[in-house]
Structures are given as structure tokens and as C-alpha cells.
Amino acid sequence: MLTFYNELHSQHRGRFEMFRGELVPCFEKPERAELVLAELGRRNLGRIVTPHGVPLTSLERIHTPRYLHFLRHAWHDWLALDPDNAGKDALPSVWPVRTLRSDIEPDNFTARLGLYSMDNGTPLTSGAWTAAKTGADCAVNAAHALRLGERATFALTRPPGHHAGSDFFGGACFLNNAALAAQHLLDDGARRVAILDLDYHHGNGTQSIFYARNDVLFVSLHADPRHEFPFYLGHADETGVDAGLGYNVNLPLPAGTGSASWFAALETACLRIAMYAPDALVVSLGVDTYAGDPLSHFTLQSGDYLRLGERLAFLNLPTAFILEGGHAIRELGINVVNVLEGFETAE
């Protein structure tokens, strides 16, 4: 397993987020990546390298130039409002919903912050752009290594990415790493790519990016969005539009889902991927399906993640794993590396 590690991830360190009506310390924190890195080193599961930087034009294959320009300059604009903002994170407070216009970019920074966001649980910090951009570098490098002959790669990075759309951030995500990896594989010669999202929360950003396309199959196992974030996407009847009709597969699961039901859904997902016959697989690897995760109502155990890795290996596809969610800090490294080890040691 070749791992691309984002050494700059800790430059993004959010202070607080709004969670169900309360301002609480951020769940998405630097310790997440550090614990996975430590566990990788303990098990000696392959080389760990830093990524080569990729040009902004690579990011523009997924994200709009207007949005990227906003992210790159947002902290400067935040400080321009008031120098004392250096000690505060920026959180949005207004959004262009329904009948409000979003085609015109406001001059007011607070309005622009809302224009490019989906929630107020994703603080924009002084290092958000640096951490997110280097994470995107990891994802694109992980994809490129598959095209160079690696069987499997891992983008060890934070913040995560699968909630970020082409022109918005949210759910602790700024750039969509899985989408960037899939697009790079296509740009590098793959005919079709599958994305399997295993996070507890639906990857709404990834779905929206590829919803009208048939060169990327998106399959997601996640909590029922009627009850869990992101709430407004991830239902089973969302199957794609136009050329993408039939290439979006959502498998929402109820609270209390344990390993038997979860792995039955995984089998459905794997069979759909096998039928699609992609040239490569991108896995949005969230382990917040774990029973001890503070944001989850699923009950998977640490041993289940070894079994997960083994099942994915039997798809026999070049596979890029991209770290997404997971907030049970003590077990996070174990659970993530169990997936990778299960994949590597499958017979």
C-alpha cells in the first residue's frame, strides 16, 4: 500500500462548529490523521510519501474557478473586515436558498461565505486552503500512482472531501478528494471509474458532481438522510439524470444497522460495481460506521473493517482509498488501517 500523506493537514484546525443548535469543539480535528499515520507506521504497511503539487487546472476539472478563487482568498478577505478576526474562525450565517439568487457573487464577504457553503458546521480557518489543497494533491497523486501500476494507494489527509460540491463547502469538507481522484483517472486514460462511498454520511458533493455522467458510477452506503446529515440528498430514488441515469446508487440504512445488514448492502454495492466493470475504484473511506463513533448510529466493530478490506480486494481493481470521516479518536487508526490491511492480505 503506497500512502500519500498530507503533512500540512494540521494547518487547518477549526475551533468550534455549530452542531444541532450548539457551538461545540470541532469533531474534525488534526489528531484524526495523526493517529492513522501512527498506526500505519506501527504495522509497517508500505511506503508513506509526500505528494507532488498539482496545478489549479486539475482542481478546475471538478470545482468552478469562481469557487476556487473564493477559497484561496477567503482568509485574506476575512481579515480585511477586521484585523481582530485573526483570532476567530469564519462561519457563515446566511444562505441563498430557494428563491434567492446565487448567480451573482456579492461583494460583501459574509454573503460570499454563505454563497459557497452548505452549513455552519465547517469553520473556515487561516490554514483551510493550504490543508485542503495539499489533500487534493494527495488524492490526485494516489490516482496517478494507480495508472503507473500500483495495485492500491491511500490518501491520508484531512479535512475530508465528499460533502464538497463543485462550488460549495460543508460537512467539514472544502475540496472533493474522491471526485478529483476519479476525474484524474479518467483524464489519464481510464474509460470508466467507480466511486464507493462507505462513510456514515452520504457523499452529497460527490453525487452532485457526477449525477449526469455515465463515466463514473457512484455507489454509497450511508445513514438514512431523513434523520442524518446531509439530510437533503442520499435517498434511494436518486438514480442519476440524462446520461447518468442508472449510474447513481444510494443504499440508505436505518439507525441501529449492524454488521449483518451493512455487509449485505456492501454486497449489493460490490455486485453493481462488478457489473459496471470499471478500470479503477475510488473508495471514500469513512469509518464513522463504528459503534463507538460519537456521530454514528451504526454498530460495526473493529474486526469488521478487516473483513471490509478483504471484500474490496476481491473486486480485483486498482483501488485508491481516500480518508473521509471517523471521529472515535481512540479506535480511528485501528479501524482505518484494518481496512487497508484486510485489502493487502486478502488471499
Residue holding cell 447513481? 248
The three-state (H, E, C) secondary structure of 244-299, written as one string: HCCCEEEEEECCCCCHHHHHHHHHHHHHHHHHHCCCEEEEEECCCCECCCCCCCCC
Kindly list the catalytic residues.
Answer: 163
Contact 109/212 with Cβ under 8 angstroms? no
Q: 3-state DSSP call for residue 183?
A: helix
CA distance 191 to 17: 40
CA distance 39 to 50: 17
Rg (CA), the chain: 19
Contact 322/139 with Cβ under 8 angstroms? yes
Report the alpha-carbon angle 215-216-218, nearest 5: 150
